[in-house]
Amino acid sequence: MPFPISNNSIQSKGRLLSLSSPVVMGILNATPDSFYTKGRDNNVAGMLRTAEKMLNDGATILDIGGASTKPGQALMDSSEERNRVIPVMEALSREFPDAWLSVDTYNAKVAQEAVTAGAHIVNDVSSGRFDPTMIATVAALGVPYIAMHMQGTPADMQINPAYENVTLEVISYLQNVCQQCAAAGIKDVIIDPGFGFGKTVAHNFELLTSLSDFSILGRPLLAGLSRKSMICKPLKVNPDEALNGTTALNMVALQQGARILRVHDVKEAREVITLWQYLNKNVLT
């Protein structure tokens, strides 16, 4: 049976997005230094072409980011990030008015400008830790918020990450963030356990096999597994060669209750969802 969720839609700018069936979020990196950049042209024209392909391949949401958060990366100044993100957001909003757009940022100023430029969702890897004004800013904007768990910062998160119980600690962290969001007035929160952000391979797989436990938070669940080290290290491949592993783990995430797959490869993720629907006899006819 499909995994039950208690919060199966989000609202933004007068629009409703149903998550009763899983959707795909395509990753658009407006940065030259992300961990996976193969085939990506990060100027505006190139990103429009990539966005069009992603939408044609079945993406529901496009997630635009201008600051790399790969291991060892320092935090970026908001002005440089803004210069990367806002022109792309404006162009995407103009060219694809029916698409749902998300801004991947930990800076409240960038979030505010991006929503003004057309973004419907704010995706914050720090859950407000890097910018203490973020949660209040998102509440004032009235848009959904993706809250992710990260131990430490990108600069140090992969230096001996440690937990007594990774699943319980990540759930507790996200529960606290959800409470902060509710107190601030954010109505729609999506939770992301943060695969690869301050976790060993073992931590990541423990989280993946325990994803169903996150249903206790009553929020839609996002899984961002695409081409990450938890795939590359066991298979001894680089990110360019990690599509097959990504596809395999995306199916596991769906079986554990994920409602958004955040991916570089939209067509393959959409196919996984279609097969998951057949497995669960949840096909629209």
Query: How far is residue 68 from each of residues 38, 76, 160, measured CA to CA in Å?
Result: 15, 8, 21
* Cβ atoms within 10 Å of 20's Cβ, excluding its own: 11
Sign for the pseudo-dihedral over CA of 185, 14, 6, 224: negative
Query: How would you list the strands of the sheet with 23-29, edge to edge?
Result: 189-192, 145-148, 121-124, 100-104, 61-65, 23-29, 260-263, 222-223
Catalytic residue ranges? 228, 262
Sign for the pseudo-dihedral over CA of 178, 260, 64, 30: positive
Closest by CA position to 82, among listed 60, 103, 57, 100 = 103
Query: How far is residue 187 from each of residues 6, 143, 146, 153, 172, measured CA to CA in Å?
Result: 14, 8, 12, 27, 19
**Cα–Cα distance measured from residue 178 to residue 219, given in angstroms and rounded to the nearest whole number:** 9
Query: How far is residue 3 from each of residues 50, 203, 254, measured CA to CA in Å?
Result: 32, 23, 8
User: Does residue 57 contact residue 99 with C-beta atoms inside 8 Å?
Assistant: no
